[in-house]
Amino acid sequence: LGDGWFKPQNRWGERPREPPGYDQPTARQESRSTSSASIGNALLAGPLPAPGLLDALHDDDWKVRRSAAEAMYAMSEPAAVPGLVEALLDKNDVVRQAAAGALEAMGAVGVSGLIESLRNRDGHIARAAADMLNRIGTPEATAAVQQWTSRGTSKLDERKTR
């Protein structure tokens, strides 16, 4: 088999060359990195407006979504709670962890927004909010989860009797 077996070669026995700029990031990748880094840099300068961060939670790049959740971690902005609850269902585990950390760090500040999220029509979002309220564990949070759970149980009982 020899040394050339594992090396890709063209029909003339030459190794194929990579196109110019092959190892350089594309313009889109570079702009995403810049966007993610700018969120982190702006955090050091001071709080960002929540609407811009909420938009970043829906970005295509998971690094941007993660940076937005981490920025909200430092801000403890109650307006960010619904977006962070949705981010708990993100397809990327790192984003979900950042959102959970931000909500947990908010503590009592985020409880009212999480309680509001219990009313969301999407059962997955409501369940994620209930889980975070249980983790926060304040009396208000615990009571809201108990009420939400009993309401869900009574709805199931109604369906069984029909």
| Verdict on whether the full-model pTM lies above 0.75 | no
Helices (H), the chain: 27-45, 50-56, 62-75, 81-87, 93-106, 108-117, 123-136, 139-161
- The pLDDT score that the predictor gives to residue 139 is 93
| Residue 103, Cβ density class (10 Å: 0-12 exposed, 13-18 middle, ≥19 buried) | buried
Integer Cα distance of 126 and 58 in angstroms: 19
Which residues are within 8 A (CB) of 69 and not within 5 positions of it... i.e. 6 or more apart? 57, 84, 87, 95, 98, 99, 101, 102
Number of residues written out for the chain: 162
CA 50 to chain CA mean position, Å: 15
Q: Say whether 20 sits in a helix, a strand or coil.
A: coil
Tens-place pLDDT, residues 85-134: 888 888 998 998 888 888 888 888 888 888 988 888 888 888 988 998 99
- The pLDDT score that the predictor gives to residue 142 is 93
